[in-house]
Amino acid sequence: MREPFSTAAQQREADMLGMYLFLASEVLLFGGLFAGALTYRILYPEAVVAASARLHVWIGAANTALLLTSSLLVALAVQAADCGLRRPAAALLSGAAGLGFGFLVLKAVEYTKEIHQGLLPGFGGRFDFSSPVEQLFMNLYLVGTGLHAAHMTVGIAILAGLAWRIGRRSLPLPERAVTVAVCGLYWHLVDIVWVFLYPVLYLAR
Amino acid sequence: MGAGISEKTVAETAEERISYLRAGHTLRSWFFTTDHKRIALLYLVSVTFFFFIGGAAAALMRADLLTPEGDLLSNEGYNRAFTLHGVIMVWFFLIPSIPNVFGNFLLPLMIGARDLAFPRLNLISWYVYMVGGLFTVFILITGGVDTGWTFYTPLSSMFANGNVVLAATAIFVVGFSSIMTGLNFIVTVHTLRAPGMTWGRLPLFVWSHYATSIILVLATPVLTISLVLIAAERLFGIGIFDPALGGDPLLYQHLFWFYSHPAVYIMVLPALGVTSELVAAAARKPVFGYWFVAASSIAIALVGFLVWGHHMFVSGQSMYASAVFSFLSLVVAVPSGIKVYNWTATLYKGHISLDPPFLFAMGFIGLFVVGGLTGLILAMLAVDVHVHDTYFVVAHFHYIMVGGTVSAFFGALHYWWPKITGRHYSIVWGSLSAVFIFLGFNLTFFPQFLLGYLGMPRRYHVYDPGFQVLHVLSSAGATILGVAYLLPFAYLFYSLRNGEPAGPNPWGATGLEWTVASPPPKHNFETIPVVTRPPYDYEIEQESDAG
Ligand code: HEM
Ligand SMILES: [Cu+2]
């Protein structure tokens, strides 16, 4: 137990609440981008639809599937940690990190294609959109997915680190199960953000 | 486990009684402390430092404005001076001042806790703040930025001279410090209240910090994203705001003010909380309408998110949007009005003691009312179009932010100084500085209402000679104000060595923070107190005195 707490339950409550608040602030970080994208979808439907139609919707769908699966693995890992099942917890977390890595690889492939097709602004080369709204949409797409990918990277590092620590018993289970739960929440958030990004960007057609 | 704790208490009692100031003298014991009280002092020193840097820039501008020609500063230099002033004052003084100094010191004491929920996070947040702050000062002094504290695009993203990206990075960094502090406060209030400290018994100071923390956690990320977008545009040409790159400048203003209007409440809500404590202590009565005052903090926090558009009346947003924002802005004045009304009712027929904290509180109320009422004037669409971007606006926000928040900061400093240091300071000098701050302030900023009304635009330093008299008056006031701000330094420092020992409760106030020694012991409470009485139960005390 840490310094200001007098019971383990109190500390657990504090850790969970702290994480929920942090996640609320993360949601608002993306919230500004969502609000912008939605506003332009409503104000200029044709241009936004035209831009969105050129995104690689199937790569996005595959990525959605990867992320949802990894979220499931994390949820199972949290259960396992609660029951003190060390090996399954570590395995599930590694699996989730692996799927997350797969997501990033696919995303990189997608960005490369987009750069070749002149869809992405800001990379020198040719940029294939004429109307400013289409351009703005692609800018929002780039910042939104880029920021998400940055969060993914952090998340993967966290999951892999957890798996490693559980594996070498430096994170005793089930005593420190709350750490797994708190990190799991972070991963679910990254997942949820994508579940919103995907329709707002790819399915706006 | 229970046995373990009580053994530990017995063994450490003697050591725990040592005050937090004496528990360790090494630099290490200060710079790696996780004690919320020591961290509060680290913040006190740092915010004071930034206050002086911001103040120096202000002095420079007021000196330049003495004459209608721009003879002291170049145009560029003037732009850089007001940017330095605004950035430092807003992000490195006003926002962190009361929460990070007094909130940090008092919140755990007031709710009967040994520390904040995440002590290490608290220390990290100070380091993050310092890194952001020193970096900002360095950038603004070496390269300079000329956009003003609002970083409006496309000026900031495409055309501005100087280190916009670096400055934005520094503010981005300090945003994390705000979020950490807000998060820490909310979790602490939820999980570490002593037995019997129900929500209805929380001091109003705690309520207002709770409301402030909600804004810190929810609004700061929106600022963060706006700064990320500016950087993306400047560095990579990813146009979000610049029309030439497909962007939309209004989008920036929406994002920025969605943060920055609530941010004005980050600055003022803690001040309102301080004032409630000072008023109750001065009147020796329970605060009139406790629940209204508590709830109005939350109401201000929530409605504050809906009024950002009143900064954009002349920006080209739709007329209907402006009308709605105008109406909502009038609504947000209601909870502030409730507070002023309830303080007045609390003071009515109170046995008022005229000591420095009370004088600062009165100064606060007066200036806050002027600032709030002129805010209403600005919120009225038709009037704002006339005085927009004139000195009227400058006067308005200085009444609220400087007159309000800084007065409350000094009020808090004078009220809790004996608790923090264990020493009394000179009541006469304290009272004098409260009076001089009030007078100097009004002489500085009242003429600016007139200037604005007459049409003097803000952010110009070459002006029509007809405005000179009012500018000279304002600069004279600023001189008095500057001296008055320096005064407390002298007598507070003097009190550190020579002040009378204060005893645990020098003002005869209620509240858990006054039940422990001054300065408080390292772990605040030897045993966690059990709260059995409502807050501000002065009357009960008097009855039992009489009986
Ligand atoms: C309570 C604390 C308040 C603070 C700290 C505060 C602070 C500020 C600041 C800093 C600005 C200047 C923004 C800029 O640089 O352009 C400003 C402008 C403004 N404030 Fe306030 N304010 C407060 C209360 C209010 C209230 C209660 C209202 C309305 C009911 C209000 C209405 C306005 C309006 C309409 C403007 C924009 C004027 C313009 O740019 O033309 N303010 N305020
Ligand atoms: Cu506002």
- pLDDT for res A39: 86
**Of A16-25, B406-415, B529-538, which gets the smallest average pLDDT?**
B529-538
Ligand 1 binding residues, C-beta < 6 A? B 150, 264, 267-268, 310-311, 329, 332-333, 372, 375-376, 378-379, 384, 388-389, 393, 396-397, 400-401
Decide if pLDDT at B5 tops 80: no
Percentage of residues in chain A having pLDDT higher than 90: 64
Residue B450 tokens, joined: 């007139």
Decide if pLDDT at B537 tops 80: yes
DSSP 3-state assignment of B19? Answer: strand
DSSP state of B194: P
CA distance A31 to A37: 10
Interface of B with A in 241-260 (CB under 8 A): 243, 245-248, 251, 255, 258
- pLDDT for res B11: 41
Is residue B133 a contact partner of residue B92, using CB atoms and an 8 Å limit? yes
DSSP state of B390: B
- pLDDT for res B443: 96
Neighbours of B73 (CB within 10 A): 18
Chain B interface mutation, best of A136, A151, A182, A193, highest count of B Cβ atoms under 10 Å: A136
DSSP state of B118: -
CA distance A176 to A188: 19
Decide if pLDDT at B8 tops 50: no
Decide if pLDDT at B504 tops 70: yes
Is residue B83 a contact partner of residue B149, using CB atoms and an 8 Å limit? yes
**Number of DSSP helices (H) and strands (E) in chain A, helices first:** 6, 0
DSSP per position, B133-185: HHHHHHHHHHT-B-STTTT-TTIIIII--B-HHHHHHHHHHHHHHHHHHHHHH
Ligand at minimal distance from the CA of B405 is 1
Is B123 in the A-facing interface, judged by CB distances under 8 Å?
no
Helix (H) / strand (E) containing A79: helix A57-82
Interface of B with A in 32-51 (CB under 8 A): 34
Spatial CA neighbour of B439 closest among B492, B482, B470: B482
Predicted confidence band of residue B36 (pLDDT cuts 50, 70, 90): very high
Is B186 in the A-facing interface, judged by CB distances under 8 Å?
yes
Most confident of A66-80, B73-87, B231-245: A66-80
Interface of B with A in 335-364 (CB under 8 A): none
A·B CB contacts under 8 A: 113
The DSSP bridge partners found for residue B434 are none
Q: Is A110 exposed, middle or buried (0-12, 13-18, 19+ CB in 10 A)?
A: buried
DSSP per position, B456-479: PBTT-SS--GGGHHHHHHHHHHHH
H helices present in A117-131, as ranges = none
Report the pLDDT averaged over residues A25-41: 89
The DSSP bridge partners found for residue B501 are B423
CA distance B99 to B118: 16
CA distance A16 to B242: 41
- pLDDT for res B417: 97
Spatial CA neighbour of A17 closest among B215, B209, B190, B124: B190
Show Cβ contacts of residue B4 under 8 Å, excluding neighbours closer than 6 positions.
none
